[in-house]
Structure 1
Amino acid sequence: MEEATYRGTVYPWQCDHVGHMNIMWYVGKFDEANWNLFARLGLTPSYLRSSGRGMAAVQQNIAYKRELLAGDIVEIRSHLLEVRDTSIRFRHDMMNAETGEFAATCEITGVHMDRQLRKSVPFTDAIREIAMKHLSVPAEA
């Protein structure tokens, strides 16, 4: 399994009236993992700024497995599932770092785009080459 793309904790203000982390915070933590995964693939902030490129999520599916409570330590590990001409599909596995239990999974399809034209564009050969080395088939969460 790859190195974590996110590590953090659940703060009390991130919990809802039921006492567990609210869904908006799951999405936020998954988003932070996105940017760490992208950087590993060469889609770094400097590349995105200098090239006028960006990444846009076009589909996201979250499955909630176990609740997270205030004080829990959260770890996300990310897996690149598919690389296409202009898009990638990947999955984040969110775990309670203390217990090792899966808390949620999030599968996302992201599109590489020209920010000015607002259209999808192919990945560069260099990014595609790096991405192909990161393809994985994760275990079921």
Structure 2
Amino acid sequence: MQKLIACAAILTLAACAAPNTPGAPAVTPETVNSEPAAPLAAPTEKVVTITSAKPKITSAQLLGRDGDWLKSRLGEPAFVRSEKTANIWQYKNHVCVLNVFLYVEGDDAVPHVLHFDARNIKGDNTDRDRCLAMLQN
């Protein structure tokens, strides 16, 4: 991370440096326009709009929850597969895919999350909490 910051600083300084162009006239008091510069424009007010951010959820919070709770946190799934006692919901973005398995247990007719896994875009297992965080951005 420090190398990335140092590299960014060097590139910023290099962009600010005056170009070393042969034959370019030097800036001297004689070459600068003697007319006064135009006054600076009055600063404008910047309006910042605050959007309500989705709450960050972790894998520990996800287990045992029902589909309504899950939709309120992650939105509609990109893919749904329904079977008699289970539903599979898939959430995905350009970084990862989250497969959530909701099962009906006992007398409760509402499916709840009993298992989920996370995979990267290549299909390999990846960190579930990191994937959840990426899906909430």
The structure with the greater share of residues assigned to strand is 1
Question: TM-score normalized by structure 1?
Answer: 0.25
Larger RCO (alpha carbons 8 Å, 6+ apart): 1
